[in-house]
Structure 1
Amino acid sequence: MLESNFYMSALNLTNRRALVVGAGNVALEKIEGLLACNASVRVVAPEALDEVSDLAASGSLEWRRRRYRSSDWDGCWLAIAATADTETNIRVFEDGEARQKLVNVVDVPPLCSFILPAIVRTGPIAIAISTAGASPALAKRMKGEIGALFGRDYAELATLLNEERGWAKRELPGYRDRKVFFESIVAGAPDPIQLLRQGDRDGVRGLITRAKRRAWAEARAGQTPREQRESTGKGFVSLVGAGPGDPGLLTVAGSRRLSRADVIIYDRL
């Protein structure tokens, strides 16, 4: 049985040097990903694709046009080995381990202190998909399906929410107040994602404005939305179902209502 023991995280590579050993098609993919994250890239390879040499000529990366040496690690924070030479790949891994650095040998999980998941990236949203090295093909399929599900509308909502972070920090004193504020928008009614899919950006801004007014008043009164509902006796009921079918047919909206519920009454058909 496969088990994933990897600790999933996101790395800030801005102004950090990354070493890439190899300059073929696989290496180019890794190089482009590193540059997109503002890493300083050092490439070591006797020969390179035209795309890699063009990047070097433009000053986008450093290219050491020779075979790998242990000293290529100097000043580097992590390394990716993407060569067809097993001996070189092993040397890169062992040198990195000796320096207590992060190393990834492409498609060789035993020679990796970190792995590179498939990434769905839309605006500020990045979703990582990992199969712990078991099946990159499956990760690729999942990337396509997840990318289709969480598209530009989610990225646009993330951008709008980010614009309110400054206000929330100034006006809402506690972490819980800010958490409730943002959740009231994301899980609000009408659904902000549906509004964006309909092109109603003003509708989302109106939803945010109303949430700000409520959050500000509740923070001053020392009440959360739930406490306010309990004090007024007002609430709401949602009927959620998937018919007689599989629970997997439950809609996204239905799942969202279940996650917000204080009480759930279940009746098996």
Structure 2
Amino acid sequence: MSAHVLILGGTTEARRLATALSARPGLRVTTSLAGRVSRPGAVDGEVRIGGFGGAAGLADWLRAHRVTALVDATHPFAELITANAAEAARATGVPHAVLRRPGWDLADDWYPVASLEEAARLVPRLGQRVFLSTGRLGLAAFAELTDTQFVIRSVEPPEPPLPPHRELVLARGPFTLADELDLLRTHRVDVLVTKDSGGAATAAKLAAARALSLPVVVVRRPELPSDVRALPDVDGVLGWLAGIIPPGGSCAADTCP
């Protein structure tokens, strides 16, 4: 029987992993996307859209589709999905790992906070024109800041409640340093708010803020469950999977985990 890898996707690393695994003959690869973006980027292998119905639903899917290994390659802030994946893996005994790129190194002009709500309490003390680069979810935390002007960038329009004074920039990255410098200067931004998503794809805004000597409010990422295997990159996941799945991508019915 063919070994089957389920990737919980939505990140650049998830797409790269799907591409690498799909090139292996005899291996079935499925990437699951939450469906929050109407036009996701192309993904190699099979793709499913939508939730599973919590940890129990995911466990049922793992059993029904005879999944050999589960890789959680979701965004570092997809806390609920990560918790559900860990619980489903425990319930089914399916080998499970989290592909989590390292966070950014703390800089002198950064203000680390634990949540978007804490960021909203801090922002008025740092500036009046804020580049809010935290995605389209959770913006309600800033909705009560009536004396602050926000520039909000997201792939698709966010849903209310939203800050009353805002400019919406609809764009899909990655963005270059020149792009980010132009945005900050054009909108006269004096403080950046972002999440510690890590990686190079979204790091240009940090370099731009540093070049313009702007303060940066950084929401710290949630902790992973203590019993979860965390791997920093695609190569690390491929090495882990090599210990589970034979080189041919298939195994006897009684040897696949």
Q: Structure 1-normalised TM-score?
A: 0.33
The answer to which structure has the higher helix fraction is 1
Q: Which has the higher strand share?
A: 2
Bigger CA radius of gyration: 1
Where relative contact order (Cα < 8 A, 6+ residues apart) is larger, the structure is: 2
Q: TM-score, normalised by structure 2?
A: 0.34
